[in-house]
Amino acid sequence: MSQSQQTQNLTLVQAVRDGLHTEMTNDDRVVVMGEDVGKNGGVFRATEGLWDEFGDDRVIDTPLAESGIAGTAIGMATMGMRPVAEMQFSGFMYPAFDQIVSHAARLRTRSRGRFTCPLVVRAPYGGGIRAPEHHSESKEAFYAHEAGLKVVIPSTPYDTKGLLISAIRDPDPVIFLEPKLIYRAFRGDVPEGDYEVPIGEAAVRREGTDVSVYTYGAMTRPTMEAAENLEEDGVSVEVVDLRTVSPMDKETIVESFEKTGRAAVVHEAPKTGGLGAEITATLQEKALLHQEAPVERIAGYDVPYPLYALEDYYLPSVARVEEGIRNAVEF
């Protein structure tokens, strides 16, 4: 950001809208499509006002058919457009899974580079808003496992806009998961106009020397709060916000761990097969001789996402994050 660039104080969902507006203004190949994204402005109002400005040809209300949304967007992308397809909730993406993993992710390889698929699939994801299970799941590991897909999960308004612009400009498909728990939880300074946040680079949100804690999305806030609480007890916590879970910034992950020798991972997705396991394996492979304690995984439980009466118990709370970090430090 240049010193002369003006900023706006936006929520995360407003930053999504601003990023879409910026790229639609810059590039007439960019189209937005999905259920109720037009006149209604989307279920969370992330596309509010775009239809009024850009019209039916570039803000397209689709039928309730996720496979059709993804398949149509893939066809548009191969023909040179830059579609941004919204899935109303990430738990509704499963009908589109075949299109995304069998076609979008493989198109460059299958065509030996003749075609690329510059597609962004946006979806509100994660829990904490008292919605039913398919509205609240965190299944980012499904997509991170698939070669050919990039998976982005921002945690701040600034990063949201910059990463979304980068995703739209990327020549390959990007799954852009927006943590809806923090859509309107706070505001942050967001530059007006055009800027990018690079995909694949983590951010060290807090410097520390005793333990490295890796997180992303909505879990960044309780992790930061837990780190601040532990600081009062003399525990110095470094917090690394991954921002992109595929490709994962393993260099920053390892560099932090080599400094502290202890680690915890915080995510709301189920523990088994989650990205915490991948981070743990990375530390074992690349920094084993620096390790002073087992890596703690503070995660959701291996059960279907619960209804709202148990939601606060399921999601990692500040207290549970603190306890996990203490286990790593006191081992």
Which residues are tagged catalytic?
135
282 HSE (CA, 13 A, CB side): 20
Estimate to the nearest angstrom the gap between the alpha carbon of 39 and the chain centroid: 26
Q: Report residue 160: phi and psi, to 5°.
A: -60, -50
Which structure tokens are listed for 96?
């589109």
Q: Which stretches within the chain are classed as H helix? A: 12-26, 50-54, 66-78, 97-98, 107-110, 140-144, 157-169, 220-231, 250-260, 275-287, 311-314, 318-330
Closest C-alpha among 127, 137, 69, 131 to residue 100: 69
Name 16's Cβ contacts closer than 8 Å, sequence gap at least 6.
46, 122, 160, 161, 164, 178
